Structure formats: structure tokens, C-alpha cells
Amino acid sequence: MSEKQPYRTSYHFQPQQNWMNVDPNGPMYHKGVYHFFYQYNPYAATFGEKMVWAHSVSYDLINWIHLNHALEPTEPYDINSCISGSVTILPGEVPAIFYTGIDDKKHQVQNLAFPKNLSDPFLREWEKHPQNPVLTPPAGVEVDNFRDPSTAWKGEDGKWRVVIGAHHGDEGKVILFQSEDFINWTLYPIPKPFFAIDNTGVECPDFFPVSINSTNGVDTSVQNPGVRHVLKISHQEKQLEYYFIGKYDSDHENFIPDVKFTGTSLDLCLDYGNFYASKSFFDYAKSRRILWGWVKENETSQDDIKKGWAGLQSIPRQIWLDKSGKQLVQWPIEEVEKLRGTQISIKGEKLLSGSTLEVSGITASQEKVLFELPELERAEWLDASEVDPQLLCSQEYASRSGIIGPFGLLALASEDLTEQTAVFFRIYRAPNRYVCLMCSDQSRSSLRKDLDQTTYATIFDIDPNLKTISLKSLIDHSIIENFGERGRACITSRVYPSLAIDKDAHLYVFNNGVQSVVITELNAWSMKQAELGHEENVGSS
């Protein structure tokens, strides 16, 4: 890692230069190759007025080859940008890009594009359909807030469905369209939208089935008693990814979520940190559903311009329905383990109250730690329904003593701990249950005070018979992705340490709770550099 670029990552996807905006677009698996498209400004490290669909390919979702852009603003219907969208695999293994264009009137319209040469394994060139735009904003939708078509699915009647994010006044909504041929689309005539929410814009909707009894993913068009459905929305005001599990009534084109949106910390998020505009796809190769998310910079635009780039993608995550049926579980794809290098292990180490233990010798790294819990009955009392987790994880909360916790990791820490990002748990008794508070505290992540120092947090129920609790962290120079209790809670952070850089970045395990905590097992690996190269530099198939 260059001293001039201490915050470029080793194994997270990012372009070599300029701005990678928000949305992962149309990720897919097609004939042995993974494709990833993304919103990109080829001219600067800031958001631009002529966004393109950049295109990269991979055989393992970790090492990538950058290709020429797939879509650029060239026609009246997308002349002011080619922005978000999805890919649907049509019969005959024909991928179709469904994307939003900003037209010559600054209206947002929906367009189609198809591969120019299906025999090209990298699908380098794409042709825009002559009937574009195939959808324009319907009545009751703002012309500049009609975007982000989802992956389409096919019903038992043979018709295709797609949902699109929209906004009208104070109402954000998800609206549904149908088509028999994937070219001619009509708004489904129902008196209310597929989904609606007040006081915010809704963008980047995602709608997909999840298996009730398996961690395997299923194709987006699957509808049977063995699946439930998930609707995900990107909440513009809060910049969070909310999701709802529920029943899809295909006869009446109605989605009925199990619980309603409350606007509080009780709502389910894919990630409670810096993670937005996510997109999932079904991986036919390994029968799994994979999720990507955009992780934005927390530095200033001036910082981005100086370093010449902005924006990362999360490590792809496999997602499935928890056994409870009440939430999703997420876990980094297994392929990331191929980058593991030097390993350090700790087993059976007791962390007394106020103790800190260094995990030495690794920088860009992957950690998995299993803590043995003391008796839960000793935990403090908390009515989690009346508490905002972010307020509970207030500044320097990691240093305050509770009974069971805080305990966890100090990542990207300087040797003297003046810089540190604390990722930790604290256990409480609650009415009729036990809960875990999970926090990622950025208040001391950098000596710089002009950076975002948000503390991210969530509370989740834990099994009263639980003997251990786990934390998996992917640490990569300026990003920390955390997966609590086997992927039941996720928090991603971007941090920019001044001291804790490269070999001066330390990792510690700590316990500031009154009760001792045992490290049942900790494994930490240095991570090798992933390959991110342009086609002319790595060759082509």
C-alpha cells in the first residue's frame, strides 16, 4: 500500500481512479463469468452529470478485470446519464439490462440494452433497444424521481414483472409494471402502489424470494410454498437499507409485509452502518443469493479529488432467511478466504475486566472471534423497545464499564490507542428475553476532527441458552465490515486513521465489562492483495 494512498483497499472492489457512485448495477452470473456493472464518473473523483455503466468481470467475485464501459450517454433518452438498474436473464440465457436514463428534458425514463455478441464470454458490447424509452414516468410520479428498475421476475401467467422506485410529494413508493414480451410494459392497475412509505424518497428497490428451509438461494422467479419474499428499499433520508419479509400475493400483485415500517430502531436493516443502494442477484453456479452494497467515502470532496478516487463496494455477501423466519442472515462469500495469508490463533484466553490483548503481526486482515459468555442472568436490565441504540453507543462508550461488556475488537488502532475503531458487544436483560447491543464506534478512529465520527449501532435478541457469541470482521485499510452473531447483525464503517496505517495499524481484543470474558477461539489472517486490472494488462479470454 503506497504511503500516498493509505486508504486504498487490498481486497475490496474499487475502480483504479475517479468516482464510483452509489449503485451496484446489474450484477449477474452468465456462462461461467460473473459480471459487475456500476455507476461511474469517468472524468473526475466526484459525482458527475454524465454517469456511465462501467463493467468488470470475474471468475470468483474477488479478482476482477476492468472492461470498457457497457453503457454511455449517447441518445436523447439517456443523454444526461445512464444510472441505476438491473440485469434479468431471459429464456435462452439472454441477459437484458433494464436501466434508468436521464433524458434531454432531465426526466428519468427506463431503457433496455442487450449484448451485441452473445458468443463473447465477457459480453463487452451492449446495444440499446430501438424502442427506448420503454417506460416513462406515469401519473402521480415526479419526473425526476422515477428510477432503479429491479431484476424482473416471471409469474405463472407467463408475464414479466418489475418494480421501480418513485416519489410523489411526501410519499416514496415502489410501483409495479407488467410485460408479456419484456419490451412493452404497462403499470399494473391497482389503487395503491406495491409498497409506500411517507416522508422520504424510495430508490433501488429489490424484490426476491428466500427459501424457508435452506440457506441456498433461489431464482428470482420462484414462487411456491417453500419460499417467502423480501422487499428491500433504499431510504433516501436516512441512507439506510431497510427490508421487509412477507407474503407475495401474485394473483393480486400485492406484497404483505409481516411488520410495518415504524421509522425507529426496531426496523430491520441489511447493514446499520455505511452501506447503501444494495443489489442482490441469484448465483446459478452455486445456488446462492449474493448481495452487494455501495460504501461511500466519509472524507470531503477535496480529499477525494486529491487522492483521485472515491467509493468502494462491500465484499459480496451470501444472504438467506434465518431459522426464525423473522430476519435475513448475511455472510461474506467463501471465495474471500482464498486471500488468507499468515494466520494467528488464540484459544482459551480469559479477558479480565479492563484488559486488552494485542493480536500482532497482521494489517489488512480478516478476523473471526468467538467469545464465551458469562451467566446471562447477571446482565444489566434494559427495555430495548425504549432505547435508541445509537444514543446508547454514545461517544467513547466502549471505555465505559458494564456488567457483561463492552467487549470486542479495537481495529485500525495506533499502538498507544489514541486512534482506534471499537467494534463490540454488550449484553442486557430485557422483558422476557436477552438482547445484545452491537456497536461500531468511530469517535476515535482518526486524529482528524473534520471527518464523520458517527457511532453505528443495533440491538438484537439472543438465545437465552447462548453460551458464545461471535464477531467476524473484514479490515481493509479504510473499511471495516462487521458480522455479529454469525451474520445476524452487520455494521460497516469507513475510517481514515492518521497513525494506524499499514504496519502501524494494530488490532486488539478488549473487555471493559465487570465480568470476565473468555476468548473461546480467535483466528486472524493477513489478507493478500486481490487482482483488479484492466483487460489490456491481464489478457482476455
Q: How many CB atoms lie within 10 A of CB 352?
A: 10
Q: Out of 23, 78, 206, 441, which one is annotated catalytic?
A: 23
Q: How far apart are the first and last CA of the chain?
A: 29
CA distance linking residue 258 with residue 251, whole number of Å:
19
CA distance linking residue 87 with residue 90, whole number of Å:
9
To the nearest 10°, report the CA torsion of 176, 177, 180, 186.
150
CA distance linking residue 409 with residue 406, whole number of Å:
10
- Cell representation of residue 86: 438491473
Range list of β-strands (E), 9-90: 18-30, 33-41, 52-58, 64-66, 82-90
- Cell representation of residue 517: 470474558
Range list of β-strands (E), 307-418: 309-310, 312-313, 317-321, 328-332, 340-351, 355-358, 365-372, 380-381, 407-413
CB 410 within 8 A of CB 493: no
Side chain identity, residue 219: D
Q: Which of 475, 457, 342 is nearest to 413 (CA)?
A: 475
Reply yes or no on whether 23 is catalytic.
yes
Sign of CA dihedral 34, 35, 38, 42: positive
Please write down the HEC assignment for all residues of 185-238: EEECCCCCCCEEEECCCEEEEEEEEEECCCCCCCCCCCCCCCEEEEEEEEECCC
Instruction: Specify burial of residue 156 (Cβ count, 10 A radius: 0-12, 13-18, 19+).
Output: exposed
Query: Which DSSP string do the residues of 280-300 spell out, in sequence order?
Result: EEEETTTTEEEEEEEE---S-
Backbone angles phi and psi of 423, in degrees to 5: -120, 120
Q: Which of 500, 513, 504 is nearest to 374 (CA)?
A: 513
Q: Which of 127, 527, 137 is nearest to 332 (CA)?
A: 527
Catalytic residues: 23
